[in-house]
Structure 1
Amino acid sequence: MSGWPAVQAQSDIFPGGLPATDGNTSYSSQRTTSSDTGPSSAASQGANNGSGSSFSPVVPQGSRTTYTQPQGGGAPAPQVQPSAPQYFDYQSNLGSDVFGAQLFTGAFANAGAAQFNPDYVISSGDSIQVRLWGAFDYDAQLTVDPQGNIFLPHVGPVRVLGERNQNLESVVNNAVRRVFRANVQSYASLAAAQPVRIFVSGFVHRPGAYNGTSMDSLLHYLDQAGGVDPERGTFLAVQVKRGEQVRATVNLYDFLLSGFMPTVQLANGDVIFVPPRQNVVRVSGLVENAKRFEVSSASPTVAQLIAVAKPFAEATHVRVQRNTGDLRNTEYYPLSQASQVFLQNGDELEFTADKKPGTITVRVEGEHMSPQEYVLPYGSKLGELIGHIHFNDRSELESIQLFRRSVQDRQKQILETSLRSLETSVLTARSGSTDEARLRQEEANLTLQWIDRARKVQPLGQVVIAPIQERATLLLENGDVLRIPTRDGLVLVGGEVLFPNAVAYDSRIDLADYINRAGGYTQQADDARVVVARRDGTFEQVNMDRWGTKPVIKAGDQILVLPKVDEKNRQFWKDITQIMYQIAVSAKVVFGL
C-alpha cells in the first residue's frame, strides 16, 4: 500500500497488519470538480505528503486522523446539469381535444427529485455514497470509473458496474468484510445517477437534445420537448432507441388510465422517438372522456375504445358515423355488440341512452288518505291511479287537478314567443314627428320593463281534465302531479280589485257581488275583461259591461279582474292585452303594467 500514511490496527481487524498509529483512524472525502484533480493538483498533493499518493493527510486535534481525497474511483463524470425548462406555450396542449395532450403541461420538465429505483443498474459515471464506521471511519462520495469500479481505502477497487441498485450495499459490504474482519460496518447507496444527454425526436413540439440523469423518467424528457404533438405524434408507441436497437416501447395511455409507467434506464446518447400518429376516432355523448382517441391499426373495436372513453352508466347504444370513402354512413349498435363493431380511421362515435320507459312516478297531493308517491307501469291512465287513492269526505273529486312538466314547458314557450314578438315590435316601431318619437320612447321603455318582468312568470302547467265519466282514459306521464282539492267553500277574488281576498261561497250571489265583496274595481280595472278560472283548469272570460247571462260561480273558483290598457296612448295595447290574458290563464295571476 505504497503512498498511504502509516496507521496501526489490531490483527483481528486487518489481516496483514498495518504500520502503527494511535489505533483510531478516520477518512473523509470531499467531492471535487475536474479542475481540482488535474495533473498539477495531484503533483502538489504528492509533494505535500511526501509520497506519490493522491491523498493529503490533514491532522486535526485529538486522536483521529482525517484524510481528504478527491473524487475516487477514476476520472470523474462530466458535470452535466439538468436542463432548465425553456419557455414553451403549453396552452396549445391544454386546449387540445386529443386525449393525452393535457399530460404535457411543463410539470414533468422540472428536474426530478431523488428516488430509489431498486432495479436501476449501476453504470460508469454514477455517484456512490460510501460510509464506514467503527474501528475505521470513512465517508466519501465516489464516482464509478470507466472500468466499473469504485476505490475504497485499504479495500481497493470494488466492481459495481452492472449491479442492481438494491444489491449495491451487499456488494460493498462483502468487499469491506474481506479486509475488515470485525468492528467495521459499511453502508453504500446511489447518491446521483449518471448525468446524460438524451435526444428527443419524431413528432414532438421541440425536437432536440436535453440534459438530465439516467434515472429520470421518459416523461421528463418528453415534457422538455413540449410533449407529443397531438395532431401528428403517437401516444401508443413511444420508442427508446440505443443505436439501431429499440430498447423499449411505451404506451402513454397506460400511464393516463392506470398509472403504469415502465422503468426505462436511459444512457447518454439514447434517443426518445415519437412515431407518427395511428388511427384516430372522435367520441362524444354520454362519456367521461369526450375526446379524440388514437387507436391501433390492428382492427380496434368499440369495446376497446370503451375502456378509455369510459361511457356513463346510462349509456346503452353507440352511433357510429363512417367518414371513409365518398359517402358518410351512419350505423347504430347496442353496447352489448361493442366487441363485434370494428372501427376505422376517422370514425365519429356518439354514446346515447336509448331506453324504453318501464315505469313512471306520479305524486298525489291534497286531500286524501293514500301514499303521496305512486310507481305505475308505463302507459297507465288517470282512472287506474284514481282507483288506488283513498278519498275522505273533504275531497272534491269533481275538481281534481293535474299538473304536467311538459305542459308547463309548452306554456312557457308560448308566453316567451308572444313576449319576443312584442319586444321586436317595440324596438322597430317608427314615429312621424319628434314629439311623437319622444312619447313613443317613454312608452317603449315602460313596455320593455314590463316584458322583462313578464318573463319571470312561471306557468302552472295545469292540464284541463275532461268530465268525470271521460277522465279515466287520460294517459299519465312520468313526473305528473295530481292534486285533490279540499272542499273549503271559498272563492278567490284577485287582480284589479281594492281588496283581493278569499270570499266565503254563497250560492245566492253572482259574479258582480263577489267582486263587490272584494272592494269593487280599482281605477285601473277593465271590467270588460274578467276571467273566471275553475279548479279543474277550465276558464271563462266575461265582459261585465254587456248584458247577458254571467257564469255561475262555484266554490273553489278564482275570479281575476285584468288591468286596463289605454289604447289611445299605448301603441301595442292589443299585444299587451293578449299576453295579460295568457298569463292569467296559465299562471292564474294578474300581471299589469
Structure 2
Amino acid sequence: MWLVSCFFHAQANASQALVTSVKTKAKPEVYGQWLFNGEFANQSFNGFNPAYQITLGDNIRVQVWGGTSFDAMLTVDKQGNIFIPQVGPVNVSGVKNSELNQVVLGKVKQVFQKNVHVYATLESAQPVKVYVTGGVNQPGLYAGLSSDSILYFLDKAQGIQTQAGSYLDVRQIRQGQVIQSYNLYDFLANGAMVPHQVQDGDTLFVAPRNNFVAVEGLVGQAVAVEFAKQTASVADISQFVTPSPKVTHVRIYRNSGQEQYVDYFDIASAQTQLVYSGDKLVFVSDQKQRSISVRVEGEHESAQEYILPHGSTLAGLVTQIELNNLSDISGIQLFRKSIQARQKEMLKTSLQSLESSVLTARSSTQEAAALRAKEAELILQWVERAKNIEPRGQVILTNSATFDDIYLEQGDLIRIPSRSSLILVHGEVVFPSAITIEKESNLIDYINSAGGYTQSQDSTYVIVMHKNGQFEKYLAEDTDVLEDVKVVGGDEIFVLPKVDTKYLQFGKDITQVIYQIAVSAAVVLGV
C-alpha cells in the first residue's frame, strides 16, 4: 500500500535539509573558503621548530653538571628571564630555540669557567588567549599555545566570512601595533606561511575583502578571486583557478555603472588584459571540430577505434566495418554520451518532482500521517536507489531509419550484436532467466516459461525491447494482445512491478519513473 503523507518532524527536517542544500549550492565559492573546515582547530601544535623564539611563560628544563649541579623546570618571567641559582637571571626572551642551549651555557660559564656542562630545552609552550575579530564568522577570545599558527585561531573562529573578510590581509596586532601581516593566498597557492608566534593578548584582525573577480568556465575551480590592487591581469588570476588545457579564449564581462560590456580574447592575448573589481572571467574552448573518434564493439572483424571526419554518418561507418557470420547488423546499437546525460537529467527531474511531492504532502489528521509515515519513508528510500541508476544513452534506430541520416558525434559507441537464439526475461517474474527462442511461442509463453508473474498482472506493464533500442509497451492484463506478440532472438522482456494506485497521484508518478528507468537503463527497479 502506497500513500505519501507528511512526516511532521521527519518531513520538516528533510524539507529543511533540501532547502539548505539548494541554498548552499547556490552560493558562489570564494578561493580559499575550503581552508577552514575544522582541521586546523582540531590540531594544536605543542612542539617547537628551531626558529621558535622563546617568549614569556615558556617552560625550560635546565640541567647543569660538572663543577656544580642543578636540574629544574624554569618559567620565563615577565622580564624575559629564567633564574639559575649561583648564576643569576638569564635573559632568553626572543632567543631562537636552536640557540637556547648556547645562550644558557654562555651565562653559566661566566660564573663556572671550567668543568661545567649545560643542557637547556623547551618543555612546553605558553598557554595564550588571542582575540580574533574582523571578517570572521565567530569573533571571540580563543585559547591556544604560543606555538600555534594563526590558522589554528582563525579556524577556531569558524574561518573567514567569504563575502566580507579578506584572505589577503590578516593582521596580527600587539599592543595596538600591527607586528605581522599574512597573505593566505601565499599559503594556499605556494605553501608559504610566515612563522610568527602569538603572545597572550594578541589580536588577529581579518580586514574587509579587497577587490575581486568571478571566474567560470573551463577551470579547475570556478571561484571568486581576491586581489589587493585596483587592477589585476588575467595571468594573475589564472594562477589560482587552473584553466583547462582545452581553453582557447577568455570572455571578460566588464561592469561600468549601469552598463555591462563584453570583451573576447584568445588565451595568449588575454594574459595581459586588466580586470577590475566586479568583472567576470569565463574561460572557454572555441575549437572547431574537424574530426571525431568513435568506437565499434561487438561481433565484427575490424578495428575498434575509428577516426572520422566531422559530419560522418553511421552509414559511412558501417561500410568500413568487416562483418562476420555471427554479426546481426539489423540490431546495430548506437550509444551516445549526450543522450545519456539528457536521460540522466530527465530522470533526476522526475525523481526530484516525486521527492518534492513526498516532502510537501499533507494528511488530514495526525493519526493518518503517523500511519502513513513508513510508506513515505520507503518511497524516499526507493528514490535514493533510483538516483544511482545510470541510463545507457542508447539511440533508438527504427526499422525505417536510413543510416545516411544519422550523423555521428565525438565519443559515440557503436555495438554490433551477435545473432542470438535467446530471449531474456527480467523483472517481476518468478525466475528471471534466458530462454531459447521457439518459433511458435508468443510473449506470454516466454513470461510463463520464466515462472509467470510474481504479482497480479492487473495494471502491470510488459515492455519488449529490441536490440536496436526500439521497444513496445503492453498491459499485462491484455492477454489476447500478448498472445499475438512475437519476439525474436536477442529481444528482452521486462515485466514492470505493480504499484498500488489506491493513492492515484503518487501511484502514477512512481509508475512513470519505473517505466522511464526501464527504457533508458534497461533495469527494472522494484518498489
Please indicate, yes or no, whether the TM-score normalized by the shorter chain is above 0.5. yes
For 1:475 and 1:191, the matched residues in 2 are separated by 75
Query: In proportion to residue count, which structure has more helix?
Result: 2
For 1:276 and 1:457, the matched residues in 2 are separated by 46
For 1:207 and 1:537, the matched residues in 2 are separated by 61
Alignment partner of 1:255 is 2:187: yes
Alignment partner of 1:100 is 2:100: no
Q: 261, 277, 296: which is aligned to 1:363?
A: 296
Q: Which residue of 2 aligns with 1:274?
A: 206
1:113 Cα deviation (Å)?
Answer: 1.9
Alignment partner of 1:174 is 2:106: yes
Alignment RMSD = 6.3
**Partner letter of residue 260 of structure 1?**
A
For 1:186 and 1:212, the matched residues in 2 are separated by 30
Please list, as runs of the form range in 1=range in 2, the aligned pairs for 1:376-415 lying within 5 A after superposition: 376-377=307-308, 378-393=310-325, 395=327
Q: Which residue of 2 aligns with 1:523?
A: none
1:251 Cα deviation (Å)?
Answer: 0.7
**Partner letter of residue 256 of structure 1?**
L
Aligned partners of 1:127 and 1:142 also within 8 Å: yes
Give the 3-state SS of the residue equivalent to 1:167 in structure 2: helix
For 1:161 and 1:213, the matched residues in 2 are separated by 16
Give the 3-state SS of the residue equivalent to 1:343 in structure 2: strand
TM-score, length-normalised on structure 2? 0.58
**Partner letter of residue 414 of structure 2?**
V
Q: 1:389 to 1:224 in 2, by over 3 A?
A: closer
Please list, as runs of the form range in 1=range in 2, the aligned pairs for 1:335-374 lying within 5 A after superposition: 335-352=267-284, 356-357=288-289, 358-365=291-298, 367-371=299-303, 373-374=304-305
Deviations 1:453-488 (A, max 9, x none): xx99989945547899x7567533332424266498
**Partner letter of residue 175 of structure 1?**
K
Q: Which residue of 2 aligns with 1:240?
A: 172
- % identity of equivalent residues: 35
Aligned partners of 1:122 and 1:165 also within 8 Å: no
1:189 Cα deviation (Å)?
Answer: 2.3
Aligned partners of 1:121 and 1:164 also within 8 Å: yes
For 2:492 and 2:182, the matched residues in 1 are separated by 77
Larger Rg: 1
Please list, as runs of the form range in 1=range in 2, the aligned pairs for 1:274-293 lying within 5 A after superposition: 274-293=206-225
Aligned partners of 2:331 and 2:416 also within 8 Å: no
Aligned partners of 2:334 and 2:413 also within 8 Å: yes
Please list, as runs of the form range in 1=range in 2, the aligned pairs for 1:98-497 lying within 5 A after superposition: 98=30, 99-100=32-33, 103=36, 105=38, 107-108=40-41, 112-120=45-53, 126-134=58-66, 136-144=68-76, 149-192=81-124, 198-205=130-137, 214-223=146-155, 227-242=159-174, 245-266=177-198, 270-311=202-243, 318-333=250-265, 335-352=267-284, 356-357=288-289, 358-365=291-298, 367-371=299-303, 373-377=304-308, 378-393=310-325, 395=327, 461=394, 463-464=396-397, 471=403, 474-477=406-409, 478-483=411-416, 486=419
Please list, as runs of the form range in 1=range in 2, the aligned pairs for 1:580-591 lying within 5 A after superposition: none
For 2:86 and 2:399, the matched residues in 1 are separated by 108
Q: 1:404 to 1:556 in 2, by over 3 A?
A: farther
TM-score, length-normalised on structure 1? 0.53
For 1:263 and 1:457, the matched residues in 2 are separated by 50
**Partner letter of residue 360 of structure 1?**
S
Deviations 1:367-413 (A, max 9, x none): 43334x22222333334433433334555667766565667888997
Number of equivalenced pairs: 433
1:278 Cα deviation (Å)?
Answer: 0.6
Give the 3-state SS of the residue equivalent to 1:261 in structure 2: coil
**Partner letter of residue 252 of structure 1?**
L
Q: Which residue of 2 aligns with 1:444?
A: none
Deviations 1:489-531 (A, max 9, x none): x999xxxxxxx987677xxxxxxx8879979xxxxxxxxxxx9
Deviations 1:94-120 (A, max 9, x none): 978443375264953886524344241
Aligned partners of 1:324 and 1:345 also within 8 Å: no
Please list, as runs of the form range in 1=range in 2, the aligned pairs for 1:28-39 lying within 5 A after superposition: none
| Structure 1 gap segments, 5+ residues each | 1-90, 421-451, 493-499, 506-512, 520-530, 546-552, 561-578
Aligned partners of 1:403 and 1:463 also within 8 Å: no
For 1:536 and 1:241, the matched residues in 2 are separated by 72
Please list, as runs of the form range in 1=range in 2, the aligned pairs for 1:521-536 lying within 5 A after superposition: none
Deviations 1:207-249 (A, max 9, x none): 5666666544333444555544433222201123445653221
Aligned partners of 1:228 and 1:234 also within 8 Å: yes
Could you tell which deviates more after superposition, 398-407 or 246-255? 398-407
Q: Which residue of 2 aligns with 1:50?
A: none
Q: 1:162 to 1:588 in 2, by over 3 A?
A: closer
1:187 Cα deviation (Å)?
Answer: 0.7
Q: Which residue of 2 aligns with 1:447?
A: none
For 1:264 and 1:557, the matched residues in 2 are separated by 72
Q: Which residue of 2 aligns with 1:55?
A: none
1:186 Cα deviation (Å)?
Answer: 1.1
Aligned partners of 1:323 and 1:346 also within 8 Å: yes
Deviations 1:16-64 (A, max 9, x none): xxxxxxxxxxxxxxxxxxxxxxxxxxxxxxxxxxxxxxxxxxxxxxxxx
Please list, as runs of the form range in 1=range in 2, the aligned pairs for 1:559-574 lying within 5 A after superposition: none
For 1:390 and 1:355, the matched residues in 2 are separated by 33
Aligned partners of 1:317 and 1:333 also within 8 Å: yes
For 1:268 and 1:406, the matched residues in 2 are separated by 60
1:311 Cα deviation (Å)?
Answer: 4.5
Q: 1:311 to 1:179 in 2, by over 3 A?
A: same
Aligned partners of 2:64 and 2:116 also within 8 Å: yes
Q: Looking at both structures, which has the greater relative contact order when contacts are Cα pairs under 8 Å and sequence separation is at least 6?
A: 2
For 1:587 and 1:243, the matched residues in 2 are separated by 68
Give the 3-state SS of the residue equivalent to 2:98 in structure 1: helix
Aligned partners of 2:134 and 2:165 also within 8 Å: yes
Aligned partners of 2:222 and 2:241 also within 8 Å: yes
For 1:162 and 1:411, the matched residues in 2 are separated by 66
Q: 1:173 to 1:380 in 2, by over 3 A?
A: same
For 1:584 and 1:205, the matched residues in 2 are separated by 48
Give the 3-state SS of the residue equivalent to 2:171 in structure 1: strand
Give the 3-state SS of the residue equivalent to 2:276 in structure 1: coil
Aligned partners of 1:160 and 1:168 also within 8 Å: yes
1:132 Cα deviation (Å)?
Answer: 1.0
